[in-house]
Homo-oligomer: A and B are copies of this chain.
Amino acid sequence: MTWRFALIVDPVASDDARSDFADTLRVIDPDAPALSVGELSTQRGDGIFETIGVVDGHPQEVQAHLERLAHSARLCDLPEPNLAQWRAAVARAAAECPPGESAIKLILSRGVERVRTGLQGPTAWVTASPAADQTAARTEGVRVVTLDRGIDGGASARAPWLLLGAKTLSYAVNMAALREAHRRGASDAIFLTSDGYVLEAPTASVILRRGDTFVTPEPTGGILHGTTQLSVFDWLEREGHSTGYEHLPAAALADADGLWLVSSVRLAAPVTHVDGADLPVDRELTAAMNRYLLSPRD
């Protein structure tokens, strides 16, 4: 049985300290028309989002997602989101999630383009829906191909208007990269800089194991700082492993002692092949990682 839930959020000022945001959250029919054709999210991909995993009604790492939403808003010159309001919206959506795994999506759009009168301020909404069954990716793993992201490693610092550290709604390239991966017989991709360094997957972070150390690319170099990657690093450290951020050349992928794509809903997917070359998969460690990721996390 498929369920779905949607909430229109009427954004309030970031310093609005009211204790109850209920009257700024409006439940709608998720399949009914809700957005106008003037929406700049739809016309320009002009807005930001977050996807939060939900396990048995518990939304995971809400604070980390809200902080990244605020970070994306700053990079995109969007009004600062009121995090207490967004937290209330997440709680409202989580209350609708049945046992099992779900996904909550937060969208903050530039707003609706009005003829002559200009922009009317941001629009926002939250959806919740069941997560697809991720068992195969978590246990059997995923084949990935590397794809050139076109940008060099210095682009993010040099050209902040490229919005490389923001989670914007302009994901057409990420979706095209996944289609290209499927064409090449893989199920996911890892983006490289044009000068050959590892960035991220289109919708996940990359974690690489070398001996007893787990590393991921520096989040300053034009990628998102993964909330799931942060959470996995915390767990790995508690388990006695070391973790770190590194500038990783593409060749490090095929030489890895283990490789994972981690994200909020699929969680940890071990990579079995990179560009056709196979990689060692530690099923036991991966299973433990996913057990941790499926436990309540804040």
A residues apposed to B, CB below 8 Å: 2, 4, 6, 28, 30-39, 41-47, 49, 76-77, 105, 107, 109-110, 115-117, 125, 127, 129-130, 132, 147-152, 155, 158-164, 166, 168-177, 179-180, 194
Contacts and interface: CB of A to CB of B under 8 A. Distances in A.
A170 B169 CA distance: 7
Nearest to A3: B115
Report the 9 A-B pairs with minimum CB-CB distance, sorted nearest first. Answer: A45-B45, A170-B170, A170-B172, A150-B155, A45-B170, A44-B171, A150-B151, A41-B42, A42-B42
A76 B149 CA distance: 16
A227 to B, nearest CB: 18
Contacts of A30: 36-38
A31 B46 CA distance: 19
A78 to B, nearest CB: 11
Contacts of A155: 148, 150, 194
Given A36-B33, A42-B35, A163 B150 contact: no
A161 B160 CA distance: 22
Nearest to A189: B161
A211 B138 CA distance: 63
B116 A194 contact: no
B176 A147 contact: no
